[in-house]
Amino acid sequence: MTIRRQWLIVLITTAILAVAVNSLVLSSLTNRYFDNYTTENYDSHLTQLVEFSKQALLEDSYTNDQISTQLESHLVDPIVKIELYDANGQLIAKIQSDEAEETRGMMKNRAMNSMFGTASEEVDNVEISNSGVLLGKLYITRYSSLGNSIGNRMFKVSLINNSLLSVGLVLIFVIIFGVLISRKMSRDLTNTASLALNIDLGNPTEVKLSKVREIRTIQQSLETLKTRLKLKQTSRKNLVDELVHQTRTPLTILKTHLEAFEDGIVEMTPEEIKICEDQIDNITAMIANMSSMLDAEKDTEAIKSEEFELNQLLKQIIGGLKVQFEKKQIDLSVKSNHKVVLKTDKYKLSQSIYNVLTNAYKFTEARGTVSISYMTSKDELVMTIEDSGIGISEKDKEHLFEAYYRGDNTNNIIGEGIGLYIAKENINKIQGAISVVSEVGSGSKFIIKIPKNI
């Protein structure tokens, strides 16, 4: 059974039960009130009839027509006939309701009898006396049950008819609104199923979120699942791209240094040879860790925390990149020189700094500047890498640290758009954060915050 049909069945059943319960409660309360009213009204008329009959029998001023007229005023439901006799048994007045007879005839149809049965009558015999002397008798014919009077029975019939009419009207509105709502829910669920199928097939997906909170939650969960699946599906590619990107930096440094040695621009001093050896060590470490990096099911890499001096690390990084920056006539410098000892993953931090500096190199014009400064508090290091490059637009800043994102100003720049993504991932892994402050044409300032000890 479809959810649409189930929803309609539940809605219609609930509506019918609600109307039925309301009708039963209202009918019960109204019947009780109407029965009490009928009983009180009959008792009042009976008292008035006895008093008038006594007065009429004691006095000779009333004619039979006058007596009949007065008695007729009391011929109201549930009273159907009134007879007054004197002490000798002579009939003085007899009043019978013609309207009651017609109504009884109307009530004698099969449907009414099946609901209420046939109304029976009984006669109340009241002796009229004065000081113990019998003046006459009053016979009042009424329905055997006051609650079964014509008015009461007609009221019940009207109540049932109105209840049936209410059920019909409610059903019409329930079906109309139920169909509309169920169609909307069915469409949302169909869209959700289509979303799940497209995710399974790897097709592009776009769905308008439902206004139903539960369905919207499922859709958002599927969107999250799509993102995770996409990351899983591209994890191997990402890891390979990261490996390629990470090896490119030390290889580029080695290449520029060898070219500088060959052209005689840089002398082959022990310090320069040490820079080349460090880059070879970096490549060796990457190859040694290749198996863990290519493990697509491994979500996080182990953090290798070690103690080192920051300024010394920056000198090594600057030494490796200075030839490349000098060729482009970019001034690369470290403005801070005080000693800071850190205990964190040295490789991830240095790789992040390399990537930010490489990004600055790409987007800084010749004769520009790139500088590194840092300051510390008790538990935190704040490093700022500032360049005089072309700057970053507000649109690009929103996606700057996403993998493979390339902004509008990168058309002539070589790269895959993964360097800053790796930098952010590495900084996050050592419990830090990276942000950027930039305006188009005013350069960029990357701010790295990391704990001094992890």
Instruction: Tell me if 41 sits within 8 A of 149, measured CB to CB.
Output: no
Same domain, 322 and 409: yes
Same domain, 256 and 108: no
Return the closest-CA partner of residue 222 out of 198, 238, 245, 244. 198
Question: Does the pLDDT of residue 88 top 50, yes or no?
Answer: yes
In a domain, 346, yes or no: yes
Same domain, 254 and 165: no
**383 vs 199, residue with greater confidence:** 383
Rounded distance between C-alpha atoms, residue 417 and residue 269, angstroms: 35
At residue 178 the predicted structure's pLDDT band, cuts being 50, 70 and 90, is confident
| Number of domains present in the structure of the chain | 2
Instruction: Tell me if 430 sits within 8 A of 450, measured CB to CB.
Output: yes
- Predicted pLDDT of residue 332: 94
Please state the pTM of the whole predicted model.
Answer: 0.44
Same domain, 145 and 268: no
Tell me the average pLDDT across 358-364.
Answer: 91
- Predicted pLDDT of residue 253: 76
Instruction: Tokens 């994890």: give the residue.
Output: 235
In a domain, 347, yes or no: yes
Rounded distance between C-alpha atoms, residue 308 and residue 163, angstroms: 87
H/E stretch holding 242: helix 235-263
In a domain, 336, yes or no: yes
Tell me the average pLDDT across 397-413.
Answer: 75
In a domain, 430, yes or no: yes
In sequence order, what are the beta bridge partners of 332? 370
Question: Does the pLDDT of residue 13 top 60, yes or no?
Answer: yes
- Predicted pLDDT of residue 296: 44
**Least confident interval from 41-50, 194-203, 341-350:** 194-203
Q: Where are the beta strands (DSSP E) in 63-120?
A: 79-86, 91-96
Last residue of a domain, one of 133, 151, 170: 170
3-class DSSP assignment, residue 155: helix
**22 vs 57, residue with greater confidence:** 57
> How many residues can be counted in the chain?
454
pLDDT, tens digit (0-9, with 9 covering 90-100), for 365-381: 999 999 999 999 989 99
Same domain, 437 and 316: yes
Indicate which CATH number applies to the domain containing 359.
3.30.565.10
Question: How far does the chain reach from its first CA to its final CA, in angstroms?
Answer: 58
Instruction: Tell me if 355 sits within 8 A of 422, measured CB to CB.
Output: yes
* Torsion sign (Cα): 15, 16, 17, 23: positive
**298 vs 418, residue with greater confidence:** 418
Tell me the average pLDDT across 244-253.
Answer: 70
Last residue of a domain, one of 130, 148, 170: 170
Rounded distance between C-alpha atoms, residue 10 and residue 17, angstroms: 10
**In terms of C-beta density within 10 A (0-12 exposed, 13-18 middle, 19 or more buried), how is residue 394 classed?**
exposed
The CA R_g of the chain, rounded to the nearest whole Å, is 50
**Least confident interval from 36-50, 152-166, 427-441:** 152-166
Tell me the average pLDDT across 235-250.
Answer: 64
**4 vs 285, residue with greater confidence:** 285
**Averaged confidence pLDDT in the chain:** 79
In the chain, % of residues over pLDDT 90: 22
At residue 361 the predicted structure's pLDDT band, cuts being 50, 70 and 90, is very high
Same domain, 266 and 150: no
- Predicted pLDDT of residue 166: 76
Tell me the average pLDDT across 423-442.
Answer: 93
- Predicted pLDDT of residue 152: 65
Between strands 369-376 and 331-334, the pairing is: parallel
**Looking at this protein, which amino acid is placed at residue 239?**
L
Instruction: Tokens 């008035």: give the residue.
Output: 48
Rounded distance between C-alpha atoms, residue 28 and residue 308, angstroms: 89
In a domain, 176, yes or no: no
Same domain, 158 and 265: no
Instruction: Tell me if 323 sits within 8 A of 265, measured CB to CB.
Output: yes
The number of beta carbons lying within 10 Å of the beta carbon of residue 232 is 12
In a domain, 301, yes or no: yes
Same domain, 151 and 277: no
At residue 116 the predicted structure's pLDDT band, cuts being 50, 70 and 90, is very low
Last residue of a domain, one of 155, 170, 185: 170
Same domain, 115 and 244: no
Angle between helices 235-263 and 419-429 (to 10 degrees): 110
Domain extent at residue 154 = 3-170
At residue 110 the predicted structure's pLDDT band, cuts being 50, 70 and 90, is very low
In a domain, 222, yes or no: no
CB hemisphere CA count around 65 (13 angstroms):
0
Tell me the average pLDDT across 408-412.
Answer: 60
At residue 241 the predicted structure's pLDDT band, cuts being 50, 70 and 90, is low
Main-chain dihedrals φ then ψ at residue 63, nearest 5 degrees: -85, 170
**Least confident interval from 5-9, 148-152, 196-200, 320-324:** 148-152
Question: Does the pLDDT of residue 146 top 60, yes or no?
Answer: no
Same domain, 143 and 248: no
- Predicted pLDDT of residue 432: 96
In a domain, 185, yes or no: no
**238 vs 248, residue with greater confidence:** 248
The number of beta carbons lying within 10 Å of the beta carbon of residue 237 is 12
- Predicted pLDDT of residue 115: 46
- Work out the angle at residue 46's Cα, subtended by the Cα atoms of residues 45 and 48, and round it to the nearest 5 degrees: 65
Indicate which CATH number applies to the domain containing 131.
3.30.450
Rounded distance between C-alpha atoms, residue 61 and residue 50, angstroms: 17
- Predicted pLDDT of residue 410: 60
Question: Does the pLDDT of residue 85 top 80, yes or no?
Answer: yes
- Predicted pLDDT of residue 293: 54
Same domain, 135 and 248: no
Same domain, 120 and 256: no
In sequence order, what are the beta bridge partners of 250? none
Instruction: Tell me if 130 sits within 8 A of 50, measured CB to CB.
Output: no
